[in-house]
Amino acid sequence: MQVKSTSFVTSVSDSHFYESDFNEIAFVGRSNVGKSSLINLIANRRGLAKTSSTPGKTKLINYFLVNNKFLLVDLPGYGYAQVSKSQKTNWADFLEEYLKTSKKLKCVYLLLDVRRTPSEQDEMMMNFLYANRIPFKIVVTKIDTLSKLQVSNRLFIICQKMHVNQNDIIITSSEDKSGAKELLSSIESYILA
């Protein structure tokens, strides 16, 4: 798939989710995993999704229209320690409601940072997606930050922790654009299904 156009559509902060006739592809992961950078990579457009070195910046659900054919949905990051317990609960409820109720959601891409061992929240998210029969793919981000040997070692740990085969994950870097074609091809397969 070639991305020819992308545009920001809207942000929502409560359960009045954006409704349209477009299919949706959602990105989810812990804070600072690189969701916004990956959306910018897919869009081939810097600054479309706001990036920050401060974790927990995405507090809304952000919708982006791609090729006038489908929506990329940037979900709030989870697991950020610097917010209150009640705020974490609100975000979790917000995420769960979106994932359970979106009628146009085709696939969720669960992002994992190659440098971090998957957290309990990552495992809970994967189990939630399984339990609710929501199609998902695991995407490993930031592979440019480690050597090839380190990446290989980290992938082994991630696959063990998440109980997946390495062939089942997409390995990416927003910096050197590794994995962009594979990710776009995967997205296209869900959009066309």
| Contact between 64 and 72 (Cβ < 8 Å) | yes
Asked if the model's pLDDT at residue 73 lies above 80, the reply is yes
Q: Where exactly are the structural domains of the chain? A: 6-192
- The pLDDT tens digits for 78-90 are 865 555 565 555 6
**DSSP 3-state of 170:** strand
Which pLDDT score, from 0 to 100, does residue 87 have? 55
- In this predicted model, what pLDDT tens digit does every residue of 14-42 receive, in sequence order? 778 899 999 999 999 998 898 988 988 88
pLDDT digits (tens, 9 = 90+) for 114-131: 999 999 999 999 999 999
Of 47, 37, 109, the C-alpha closest to 73 is 109
CB distance 22 to 65 below 8 Å:
yes
Per the model's pLDDT, the better-predicted residue between 81 and 160 turns out to be 160
Q: Please give the Cα distance from 56 to 177 (Å, whole number).
A: 24
CATH of 6-192, one of 3.30.450.40, 3.40.50.1110, 3.40.50.300, 3.40.250.10: 3.40.50.300
Q: What integer is the mean pLDDT of 97-104?
A: 93
Report residue 180's pLDDT band, with 50, 70 and 90 as the boundaries. Answer: very high
DSSP 115-158: TSPPPHHHHHHHHHHHHTT--EEEEEE-GGGS-HHHHHHHHHHH
- Enter the tokens of residue 92: 């979790």
pLDDT of 55 strictly over 60: no
Compute how many other C-beta atoms are within 10 angstroms of the C-beta atom of residue 171: 18
Could you give the CA distance from residue 17 to residue 4 in angstroms, rounded to a whole number? 26
Distance CA 170, CA 33 (A): 14
Predicted structure pTM score:
0.90
Question: According to the model, what pLDDT value does residue 187 have?
Answer: 95
Q: What is the mean pLDDT of the chain?
A: 88
Residues contacting residue 90 through CB under 8 Å, at least 6 positions apart: none
Q: Is the pLDDT of residue 98 over 70?
A: yes
